[in-house]
Amino acid sequence: MAANYPVANHSLMAVALGAYIYGAGGNAFPNKTYRYDPNTNTWDDAAIADLAAGRTAAASGAYNGRWILAGGDVNFAVSTSAIAWDPATNTWSDLPNMAQARDYLAGATASQSFYAVAGSSAPGTGTNDNQQYTETLCGTPTPTATASPTLTPTATPTPTPTCLTGYSYTTTTSTGTITQVTTDTGNHCDDCMTPIMFPFPISFYGTSYTGANLNSNGDIQFANNSAVVGTLCPYPYPNLGPTIFLYQDDLRTDVGLSGCVAWANGCGIFTGISGTAPNRVFNIEWHAVRHNATANTADVEIRFYENTPSFFDVFYNFVGDNGSNEGSGVQASATGPATTYS
């Protein structure tokens, strides 16, 4: 049985981000925050900064690697305020206010927007608002740009987003050797996702991440948790946010399939860390087989570097069809920018 929340409360906000669940605010303890670790079945009071102002009944959701809280009752008054928590820095920051003050509303992320849906404008007065927040990525470098998106009802949209970054990725090809890693992430399945935490922050398109979700089908998702199947050429993939596509296909990582004998530890997704801080290297390795041809194997690894957080290597050891049915590339959002490698 999962451990109880640390305090009796109601009207609080919660989110799943990376490998953890976070709780914040609520009527009884409006400033308090906690982090739940499913692996240890424990709640931690010190793992996340408390709220600067008490908040209850807000829209809540994960967006671009951060936790957004929009509206709700701030210091027990219905509010337009929106804030975001960044796990890389453990800090809360202000976002542009919503167009309408609402409490007891719902939050959701779709494609590259966060939505604050419905809610009450006053006690007993419901609404059908759908207020949208979008951060848009640049296509050209603008090092001094700052984000100034607005939250607006979709019925009368007036968004004014500016570019967050001008990052892009280029590729070079060389030879290398896969580092065999053995820490089992628990991904042994057909079309499933597994969350992991990075041992050091990873920078992708200018945003720092402390965790991501691994797809058995050969990709790393920084803001989504969707076991998408198959390939798309060219990218971007329309239903995903920031993603690295190592070897995107309909793959399986189940234990016991015929091709799994290629590895001593069988099929799955495995990780390993080498070196010492601040020069550690983090490897994530897929041992997979094709869904409809389980004798065809794919041994693919991505390598991240602590001293160069925006750089990564991808290694291909052996692939059953020489990659003829797979895709690889990167994308910052569902609308780009993106780079397609194959």
Spatial CA neighbour of 90 closest among 49, 45, 36, 44: 49
Domain 13-153 classification at class level: mainly beta
Compute the chain's Rg from CA coordinates: 21
Q: Which two tokens stand for residue 152?
A: 């607006």
φ, ψ (nearest 5 deg) of residue 260: -65, -15
pLDDT at 321: 60
pLDDT at 168: 65
pLDDT at 207: 84
Going from N- to C-terminal start, the domains of the chain cover 13-153, 183-340
- 20-24 vs 130-134, strand pairing mode: unpaired
Residue corresponding to tokens 């848009």: 136
Q: Which two tokens stand for residue 268?
A: 């799955």
Q: Which two tokens stand for residue 206?
A: 């200018």
pTM over 0.85: no
pLDDT at 66: 85
pLDDT at 73: 97
**pLDDT tens digit string along 136-170?**
543 333 332 223 333 333 333 333 333 444 456 77
As a whole number of angstroms, the distance between CA 140 and CA 138 comes to: 6
Report yes or no: 271 and 187 within 8 Å, Cβ to Cβ: no
As a whole number of angstroms, the distance between CA 205 and CA 337 comes to: 9
pLDDT at 23: 97
Given a cut of 70, the residues of the chain with pLDDT beneath it are 111, 136-168, 319-325
As a whole number of angstroms, the distance between CA 245 and CA 103 comes to: 38
Burial letters 11-30, b for 16+ CB under 10 A, else e:
bbbebbbbbbbbbbbbeebb
Report yes or no: 69 and 60 within 8 Å, Cβ to Cβ: yes
- 82-86 vs 66-70, strand pairing mode: antiparallel
- 130-134 vs 113-117, strand pairing mode: antiparallel
